[in-house]
Amino acid sequence: MTGVVITFYSYKGGVGRSFTLANIAVLLARWGRRVLCVDWDLEAPGLREYFRPWLDRDPVGGVVDLVADFRAGAVRPDRHILPVDLDNVAGTLDFLPAGADGPDYPGQVQGIDWEGLYDEEFGEYLERCREAWTSDYDYVLLDSRTGISDVGGICTAHLPDRLVVLYTANTQSVRGAVDVAHRANVARNALPYDRPQLPVLPVLSRFDTREEYDRSESWRQICLDETRSLFDSWLDQDVPPAVIARHLTLPYVSYWTFGEQLPVLQEKSPGADQIGFALETVAAVIAHSFDRTELLAENRDAYVAAVRTRTQSFAYDVQVSMPRSSLEVSQDLVAELENLGIRVGRSLSGDRAWLGRAETDARHLCLVIDGKASRWQLAEVELFLHRTLGQDRRLIPVLTEGTDSRELSGYLGNLRHLRLGLVNGPAKVARSLADEIGAGRALADTGQPDLVSLLRKAERTRLRPALWDLVGEFASELPVAVGAGDNVRAQELGADLAVLLRPRPGDDGAVPPPPQVRKALAWAQQVLDVRVNGS
């Protein structure tokens, strides 16, 4: 799939544009996306400071060097990309700085005549760079210069597929941002490239509601009135802009104003009053391609979780909720499910610890109902529905013999159910349940968690080009071995991959995986998921 270029823009400085971009980049990478951050604020570059602790070396070049490459006739848009080595990130996060540190940098920037470059067909060169970036990454996030400038035009009109404009609650900031958004769409119409209308996401930043509540609500309405037209091209027609505008508000938190910080790394499960909560919401809108806003309006947590669970690894395929009155038959059902190769979690009515968890460990929920659902099971249902709205996750009732489905309350009574009894014993119900959730014993014991981990590691690794050729060959052969049920060959390929991916200190020629290898790695992961999980 071709990646998306998103520009973060602000008319005025001091609105937290780089802060927002850096944190959203981390979230997208954590959710399994391949992300490239590009610091195009050439006159005041600062994005690197957010990533500095996780860079393995200082930059020796960057965006300004694209001009030198253009004049030399070389298309090398990945030449100065640096990996951001964060822990526990399922995706990829890379960074292209503005340029190298040193006394020569200001002269490089001041010596660029952007208008003259476009007369020399620099625009075509940028198109080729853009094509390379979007083939290697799911999201290319551009940190644009403030105000109205040639660089701003490149970032707001030429390069992006979408635009995020940040503004604060003052007239100049909000009107300037809206004006540039409209200018960008006008400028795109004059470009010699096929560009659709530019969707624009208005984000109210550093908004303080803790004091002067009446005044803050007045300014919230002013900002909504000024930005209302920006919602027209992407917001669901049944969702009021005022509702979404509140979700697109970043609160002012003084703690995060000191230095360049990434609160999303510290606020792992943020509450509604924390800035990480708001950043997650904006990142989810981006990951949803500005779509499904009716779900955001109805259930923000489910909207964010729907993005996260696309790459989330669950400890269990299904959670079986067991009432104490039918504990023995429930345990028999669990045993039969495990015999089918299904990973099963257990919850017992009255288990307060399970109800208190922020996230579930299982993809699906099975309720064993004996006579009627216990109050604990009803609480489980409510939590499961709240967490999984809009996701492909199933809730399946299994009724014991003598339980009348017509007596089930509300939502449960409308669900398709399975029944335990003399004819349908635990083994038969387990097979039916496996069919319901699309799970079962793998045709080959592929060691899937380890292999998928290796494939994901490969996407984040840097190797010499010759080694990437071997990785591509192994990744292409792996789906064939898994599809044929050849567990031995699958494990051999996994062992070979592990050897290739070992760190090699001092390897200056190392590069990220080329596009054809990334495709082979992605396809291998998809085959493993389908083969083992049925998803």
Between 228-242, 287-301, 450-464, the lowest mean confidence (pLDDT) is in 450-464
**Residues 121 and 261 placed together within one structural domain of the fold:** yes
**Residues 110 and 93 placed together within one structural domain of the fold:** yes
From 203, 236, 393, select the one nearest 302 (Cα to Cα): 393
Assess if residue 443 is contained within a domain: no
Assess if residue 444 is contained within a domain: no
Q: Which region, left, alpha or beta, applies to residue 164 given φ > 0 means left and ψ of -120 to 50 means alpha?
A: beta
Range of the domain at 345: 316-437
Where does a domain end: 253, 277, 309?
309
**Residues 239 and 382 placed together within one structural domain of the fold:** no
pLDDT attached to residue 352: 60
Q: Can you state the angle between helices 213-227 and 171-189, rounded to 10 degrees?
A: 20
Mean pLDDT of 479-502: 76
pLDDT attached to residue 442: 39
**Residues 330 and 386 placed together within one structural domain of the fold:** yes
pLDDT attached to residue 484: 66
**Residues 285 and 345 placed together within one structural domain of the fold:** no
Q: Cα–Cα distances in Å, from 191 out to 118, 149, 180, 185, 200?
A: 11, 17, 16, 10, 18
pTM of the model: 0.67
**Residues 50 and 119 placed together within one structural domain of the fold:** yes
Assess if residue 442 is contained within a domain: no
**Residues 430 and 457 placed together within one structural domain of the fold:** no
Where does a domain end: 437, 466, 493?
437
pLDDT attached to residue 506: 59
Q: How confident is the model at residue 307 (pLDDT cuts 50, 70, 90)?
A: confident
In DSSP terms, which residues pair with 366 in a beta bridge? Answer: 320, 396
Where does a domain end: 263, 294, 309?
309
**Residues 470 and 362 placed together within one structural domain of the fold:** no
Dist CA 97 CA 40 (whole Å): 8
pLDDT averaged over the chain?
85
Q: In what order do the strands lie in the sheet with 162-167?
A: 82-83, 92-96, 34-39, 139-143, 4-9, 162-167, 200-207, 249-251
Predicted confidence (pLDDT) at residue 317 exceeds the cutoff of 80: yes
**Residues 342 and 299 placed together within one structural domain of the fold:** no
**Residues 335 and 455 placed together within one structural domain of the fold:** no
pLDDT attached to residue 518: 87
CATH of the domain at 388: 3.40.50.10140
Q: In what order do the strands lie in the sheet with 362-369?
A: 344-348, 316-322, 362-369, 395-399, 418-419
Predicted confidence (pLDDT) at residue 354 exceeds the cutoff of 60: no
Answer for the pair 419, 399: CB distance below 8 angstroms, yes or no: yes
Predicted confidence (pLDDT) at residue 61 exceeds the cutoff of 50: yes
Residues 378-404: tens digit of each pLDDT: 888 888 877 776 667 888 999 998 898
pLDDT attached to residue 359: 58
**Residues 39 and 92 placed together within one structural domain of the fold:** yes
Assess if residue 414 is contained within a domain: yes
What domain count does the chain have?
3
Residues 192-226: tens digit of each pLDDT: 777 788 999 999 999 987 777 788 899 999 999 99
Q: How confident is the model at residue 447 (pLDDT cuts 50, 70, 90)?
A: very low
**Residues 269 and 322 placed together within one structural domain of the fold:** no
